[in-house]
Structure 1
Amino acid sequence: MSSFALAQTSFASSVGIPAPISGLIFGQGVSGIMFLVGGLFLAFMGLVLVFFFLRYFKLWFQAYMSVADVTLVSLIRMHFTRVNPNVVVQAKVMSAQAGLSIDRNDGISTRRLEAHFLAGGNVMNVIHAIIAAHRADIPLDFDQASAIDLAGRDVLDAVQTSVYPKVIDCPDPARSGKTTLSAITKNGIELRVRARVTVRTNIGQLIGGATEDTVIARVGEAIISSIGSADTHFHVLENPDMITKKVLSRGLDAQTAFEIVSIDIGDIDVGENIGARLQSDQAEADTRVARATAESRRAEAIADEQQMKAKVTDNRSRLVLAEAEVPRAMAEAFTAGRISAPN
């Protein structure tokens, strides 16, 4: 036996390969080595498949029994793409059981669910929203729901609000810290109003539409404007529905994510007489202006009086000077002979 044959025999015995098989492998040379490598690769792949089969068999069987159209290959792909297969399988099972389309082309397919999961979306929230909309006969497909979810809106809450409208306080104490709106009628009476706005979600305007803050601001502005156009506060107290009619006729829900169902005036309180207070303040201001004007005139009169006194004093001094010149003039006249003593 040659040295190469002895080396083959020793290698086979060291790795535990039986003599017939080692003879078959090493007897064929390079082809035998290739056969060995191929066999080891197939054995490795078989172990990998057995591993994934044992790990995902329960999920695959659940999807299979629910007719959810999730293949074992898809589950293995999710493992490598770091997609949670439990979420995807549960979403597909719920969709299939709810009667939604799970078609691979235009339905809620496994690929779409994986893409939405990898994009950071809430897959279960989207599926719950679609099922709720389907039950309520609201048009909502997977693309629209996933877009709303990725935009940061709670699509499930939007669908629930569309089915069961919610009530918004106007003003909202949590946002503004105020409990009532203050408006003034034409006769100057302040009215403090608290309204409740019933809205439901407008799915079509949910992306890009204004939020609750805009609705509250618009409703508050319309209420203040409606009260301000009333002649007296008695008219508003007698007919509070005039406020809601005017507000609803303005279409305040345009370009918002909500549709206003109704506006109800919860409470109206009579506040201060703002008109009388303003008139009183105006009268006080006019009085102060008149006092300032009179004081200015008094100061001017005092100044004129002092000026006149100064002129009188000046004239008196001139008179004294003039009187002092009289004796001198008489003396000159006597000296000059213009004046003579009487006989």
Structure 2
Amino acid sequence: MAFGVPIVLIIAVAFFVWLFSYIIPIGLWVSAWAAGVRIGITTLVGMRLRRVPPNYIVAPLIKSFKAGIDLAINNLEAHYLAGGNVDRVVDALIAAERAEIDLSFERAAAIDLAGRDVLEAVQMSVNPKVIQTPIVTAVAMDGIQVQATARVTVRANIERLVGGAGEETVLARVGEGIVTTVGSADAHTRVLENPDSISRTVLDKGLDSGTAFEILSIDIADVDVGKNIGAQLQTDQAEADKEIAQAKAEERRAMAIAEEQEMKAQVQRMRSKVVEAEAEVPLAMAQALKEGKLGVMDYLNFQNIQADTDMRESISGKDQDKQSRNPKNVD
């Protein structure tokens, strides 16, 4: 126990020293006073109690003081509590001050809270950025496809960063302008001969309206000739007409076959009726003989006439066969 009490006291003293140095960041307070920033110990303790890391506030405050920018510590703390990046905002203010760009802390904080990189925006205001459109495909009035790629030089507009459209909108508008300009050309050769006409026409449309950027220039990087859309459409139309004509011809053929089948059916029905009628003749003659309406001599005469008719039909059939086999013998 004699050795346990001093150890406990040492641990307790070390814990209280650590707790005191954590709650009251003496080193950070000394650094601020050494830099000329007057900040009270109670303010640093209040940051700890509000769960605001003092280093996230004091370090940017020292940086802004050395750059000659007067910022209130309450504004920095409020921006951190709102979820903003205090260090990034201070760097943007310093860069704007050096570039003589009018940027207030409230505007920078609003841009940062809006989800945009305020420092990158300031840098883009000084050094414009070049963005390239994907391949834009358009068709001239002569039916020839034209593929163009443009490079758009933009500069960030600080005043429109909050609520302004981004790069995607600028690229979409430029692509739409290229399609409209190429589509209004009489021939694709005019576009190939004078590609800067596209950039002039698109630039005059004011495509940066409502965006967070200011378009400085639009340069056509590449122009290529694509497919002959007009000829392809004509070919497709001819193929469609061909298929329609074939379908109609097939329909007419089917109708002709159906009519032929119907006629054959009618002929067959007529033959059936003839056979039925021929079958009734002997019965009728027998009935006539039985009733005495037809004599035996009349029946024999009928048989002779029938045999004579059959003989003539057979002779006539043989003559026709000979003529068909020997057409030269026909006078």
Match for residue 62 of structure 2? 93
On the 8 A contact 2:33/2:39 being kept in 1, the answer is no
Which one-letter code corresponds to 2:252 in the other structure? Answer: R
Match of residue 58 from structure 1: 30
* 1:163-174 aligned within 5 A: 163-171=126-134
SS at match of 2:47: helix
Query: Shift of residue 78 of structure 1?
Result: 3.3
1:95–1:306 CA distance, 2 compared to 1 (3 A): same
Aligned to 2:263: 308
Letter of the 1:112 partner, please give it. Answer: N
Query: Unaligned stretches of 5+ in structure 1?
Result: 1-47, 103-107, 172-179
Cα displacement (A) at 1:321: 4.8
Partners of 1:329 and 1:59 lie apart in 2 by: 145
Q: 2:240 matched to 1:285?
A: yes
What is the aligned partner in structure 1 of residue 195 from structure 2? 240
- The answer as to whether partners of 1:59 and 1:89 remain within 8 angstroms in 2 is no
Distance 1:135 1:324 in 2: 124
Which whole-Å CA distance do the structure 2 matches of 1:53 and 1:321 have between them?
127
Q: Spell out, residue by residue over 1:28-84, the C-alpha distance to the aligned partner (whole angstroms, 9 max, x if none).
A: xxxxxxxxxxxxxxxxxxxx79x95953452233232xxx44344434433443434
Question: Contact 1:186–1:230 at 8 Å: present in 2 too?
Answer: yes
TM value normalised by structure 1: 0.71
Distance in 2, Cα, partners of 1:86 & 1:316? 115
Residues 52, 81 of structure 2: 8 Å contact kept: yes
Q: Is the 8 A contact 1:191 1:268 kept in 2?
A: yes
Cα distance in structure 1, aligned partners of 2:172 and 2:145: 20
Cα deviation for residue 331 of structure 1 reads 8.7
**How many angstroms apart in 1 are the aligned matches of 2:174 and 2:205?**
10
The amino acid of 1:128's aligned partner reads D
Name the counterpart of 1:70: 39
Shift of the 76–59 alpha-carbon distance from structure 1 to 2, 3 Å rule, reads farther
Partner residue, 2:325: none
* Match in the other structure for 1:134: 97
Cα distance, 1:158 vs. partner?
A: 1.0
Q: 1:127-276 maps to which residues of 2 (within 5 A)?
A: 127-171=90-134, 180-276=135-231
Cα deviation, 1:316-336, whole Å, max 9, x if unaligned, reads: 443455566677479959955
Q: Gapped runs of 5+ residues in structure 2?
A: 1-19, 302-331
Distance 1:236 1:133 in 2: 42
Q: Which residue identity is paired with 1:300?
A: M
- The residue aligned with 2:326 is none
Letter in 2 for 1:118: L
- Per the alignment, residue 125 of structure 1 pairs with 88
Report the alpha carbon displacement of residue 201 of structure 1 after superposing the two structures with TM: 1.3
* Aligned residue pair count: 277
SS of residue in 2 equivalent to 1:115: helix
Distance 2:154 2:29 in 1: 47
Structure 2 CA distance for partners of 1:144 and 1:311, relative to 1, 3 Å: same
Q: Supply the distance in 1 between the matched residues of 2:26 and 2:172 (Cα, whole angstroms).
A: 59
Give 1:199 shift.
1.2
Deviation at 1:148, TM superposition (A): 1.4
- Please tell me whether the aligned partners of residues 29 and 39 of structure 2 are also in contact (alpha carbons under 8 angstroms): no
TM-score (structure 2 length as normaliser):
0.73
Question: 2:155–2:215: 8 Å Cα contact kept in structure 1?
Answer: yes
Distance 1:132 1:55, change over 3 A: closer
CA contact (8 A) 2:28 2:58 kept: no
Higher deviation after alignment, 152-161 or 307-316: 307-316
Identity %, equivalent residues:
52
Deviations along 1:149-168, one digit per CA (max 9) or x if unpaired, are 12221110111112111111
Q: 1:307 to 1:60 in 2, by over 3 A?
A: closer
Contact kept, 8 Å, 1:158 with 1:203, in 2: the verdict is: yes
Paired AA for residue 158 in structure 1 = A
Cα offsets for 1:192-212 (capped at 9, x unmatched) = 111111111121221222222
Kindly provide the amino acid, as one letter, of the partner of residue 50 in structure 2.
Answer: T
Match of 1:113 in 2: 76
Name the CA distance, whole Å, in 2 between partners of 1:211 and 1:149: 15
CA distance change for structure 1 residues 244 and 79 in 2, over 3 Å: closer, same or farther? same
